[in-house]
């Protein structure tokens, strides 16, 4: 699953990774590739029936240079569930959506979720990625390819 806004420069890195994986023909009966855009709560429906999940997204204000790559298990960054029946589902982020999904799916929630976060500085209205962030995205593509096809 790639997250990001394709018109906010480097924020689009998750979408870029999914697009390149699809172009490489890596989607098949075992592997689903989802460009999630900025929609987070749809995570619930995409996780059903999958055993291993990889999420790619941008992260801002890390204090590290743009293009710095982080690989973390989703359990390390999931947000606490807000037990507010009025929570506005269109405004939550994917980490919050994972928490809700875990609560809803219970024993059907996949145990194997990895998140690749790429540090970004530029989220201005722009359709191009910076070279540093694109290079990090290409590295993630290689890591995913090696994990599933080596």
- Tens digits of residue pLDDT in 109-141: 777 888 898 998 878 898 899 999 999 999 999
Give the global pTM.
Answer: 0.80
pLDDT band for 88, please (50, 70, 90 cuts). Answer: very low
Q: Round to the nearest angstrom and report the end-to-end CA distance of the chain.
A: 21
pLDDT digits (tens, 9 = 90+) for 7-49: 989 999 999 999 999 999 888 888 889 888 777 666 667 777 7
Name every residue whose Cβ is closer than 8 Å to that of residue 83 and which is 6 or more positions away in sequence: none
Domain residues for the domain of 139 are 2-149
Q: Are 78 and 95 in contact (CB under 8 A)?
A: yes
* Residue 60 falls in which region: left (phi positive, over 0), alpha (psi -120 to 50) or beta: beta
> Quick check: 20 and 64 in contact, CB under 8 A?
no
Domain total for the chain?
A: 1
Q: Give the residue among 58, 96, 61, 102 at the shortest CA–CA distance from 77.
A: 96
Sheet with 52-60: list strands edge to edge.
35-37, 2-3, 52-60, 112-120, 69-73
Q: How many helices and strands, by DSSP H and E, does the chain display?
A: 4, 5
């Amino acid at each position: 699953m790639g997250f990001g806004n394709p018109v906010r420069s480097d924020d689009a890195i998750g979408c870029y990774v999914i697009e390149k994986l699809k172009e490489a023909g890596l989607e098949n009966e075992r592997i689903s590739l989802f460009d999630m855009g900025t929609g987070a709560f749809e995570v619930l429906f995409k996780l059903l029936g999958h055993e291993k999940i990889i999420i790619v997204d941008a992260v801002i204000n890390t204090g590290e240079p743009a293009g710095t790559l982080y690989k973390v298990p989703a359990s390390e960054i999931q947000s606490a569930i807000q037990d507010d029946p009025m929570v506005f589902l269109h405004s939550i982020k994917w980490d919050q959506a994972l928490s809700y999904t875990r609560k809803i799916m219970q024993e059907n929630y996949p145990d194997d979720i990895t998140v690749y976060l790429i540090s970004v500085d530029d989220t201005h209205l722009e359709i191009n990625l910076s070279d540093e962030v694109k290079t990090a995205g290409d590295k993630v593509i290689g890591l995913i390819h090696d994990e599933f096809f080596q």
